[in-house]
Amino acid sequence: MIHSERNVEGLRSYAEQKSKNTIAKVDEAIQKLIKSKSKINFNSVSMESGVSKAFLYNNDEIRERIDILRKQQEGLSSPSQVKREMTNNSKDILIAAKNKRIKELEEENKRLKDELMKLRGKLYDMQ
């Protein structure tokens, strides 16, 4: 009887240690996601930590933490959204710069054509 009690205690101790290690992995993954400004949800935490979604859902503290972080991020722009907006702004700036350059080149082209006509006229007069 004593022998089986020790086995149960050993199993319990092992399970407890395994759970602590898993929670530490999840904490690490969440910190990484926060630093990289990635979306935090059960799927991303599971992928980053290598921990099953079932574990995340079944652990009340982790579940609540992920829910809170996910809700906090709802008001923030995602990195891809920010990138899209930056890209659109960049496109507008680039188009404006190109339009300005086209106008300058057209003016230079007209000036050069006028000069060419004058020089042709002078050349004609010399003959």
User: One digit per residue, pLDDT tens: the chain, 127 residues?
Assistant: 455 556 788 888 888 899 899 999 999 999 999 898 888 999 999 999 999 999 999 999 999 999 988 888 876 656 666 666 667 777 888 888 899 999 999 999 999 999 999 999 988 888 7
**Predicted pLDDT of residue 80:** 64
Judgement on whether residues 5 and 54 belong to the same structural domain of the protein: yes
Domain that holds residue 112: 77-127
Cβ(100)–Cβ(108) under 8 Å? no
Judgement on whether residues 48 and 65 belong to the same structural domain of the protein: yes
Judgement on whether residues 67 and 104 belong to the same structural domain of the protein: no
Cβ(30)–Cβ(15) under 8 Å? no
Number of structural domains found in the chain: 2
Q: Mark residue 95 as left, alpha or beta (left: phi above 0; alpha: psi -120 to 50; beta: remaining).
A: alpha
Judgement on whether residues 46 and 2 belong to the same structural domain of the protein: yes
Which two three-digit tokens encode residue 62? 């982790």
Q: How many CA atoms lie within 13 A of 95 on its CB side?
A: 6
Judgement on whether residues 108 and 119 belong to the same structural domain of the protein: yes
Judgement on whether residues 1 and 60 belong to the same structural domain of the protein: yes
- CA 5 – CA 124 distance, rounded (Å): 117
Per DSSP, the three-state class of 76 is: coil
**Predicted pLDDT of residue 1:** 46
Of 64, 26, 18, nearest to 44 (Cα)? 26
Judgement on whether residues 89 and 112 belong to the same structural domain of the protein: yes
